[in-house]
Structure 1
Amino acid sequence: MTTEPPRRRILTLKSGIAPKTAEELFGKKRAPAKAAPPPPPPAPSFGWKCKPCGKGFDPPAEGPDDEVVRCPNCNARVGIAGDFRADPPPARLRARSVKKPG
């Protein structure tokens, strides 16, 4: 019959201080940070909108009055340059005026 040697004691740390909770260690619970509201969309920087596609554009400010104006997005013929400079613009334009901010 073989006898096993006595086992060593398992070491434990006994400091006499109760373990602290996370709230005690790091302070009060913080409320989650609120996300900042998204910035407002940029104001339109164009003066006219194409009726067929709805994209904004600026007609040429200078040049001959009989120059054809086309939408830079869909290439639709929206009118002639002289019609955009007229006050009030004629109803035959395929574009509508948009207020510029400021």
Structure 2
Amino acid sequence: MSDQPPRRPILKLKNPPPLRVEPPAPAPVKAAAVPSVRWKCKPCGANVPLTGDEAPTDSIRCPACNARLGTAEDFASNSPRVRARRIETGA
């Protein structure tokens, strides 16, 4: 015979553990639709964030220069009389 010891047998499991089946991932939550119209302050040119959650009588001010641009109701009307320019975005 040889100088090496005999090889050990490979052990096998009689009852392997059950396969873990992961539940399917939930569908991703769609982000809220970005408004297709954004506004820019006429005096300074800064972007004016409007969320649509403002009360109609809330005064909208520029975050950069603090200029009063109008009320939320003015921004929502078809022909707004506000101190801001409309920026159309592709949507």
Identity %: 41
Indicate whether 1:52 and 2:81 are aligned.
Answer: no
State the match for 2:61 in structure 1: 70
Contact 2:59 2:70 survives alignment (8 Å) = yes
Q: Which runs of 4+ in 1 moved over 6 A?
A: none
Structure 2 residue ranges without an equivalent (≥5): 1-35
Amino acid across the alignment from 2:77: A
State the match for 2:25 in structure 1: none
How many Å separate the matches in 2 of 1:52 and 1:65?
23
Structure 1 residue ranges without an equivalent (≥5): 1-44
Structure showing greater radius of gyration is 1
Residue 73 of structure 1: CA displacement?
A: 1.1
Indicate whether 1:97 and 2:86 are aligned.
Answer: yes
Q: TM-score, normalised by structure 2?
A: 0.54
Residue 101 of structure 1: CA displacement?
A: 2.4
RMSD (Å), alpha carbons:
1.9
Contact 1:46 1:58 survives alignment (8 Å) = no
Contact 2:37 2:86 survives alignment (8 Å) = no
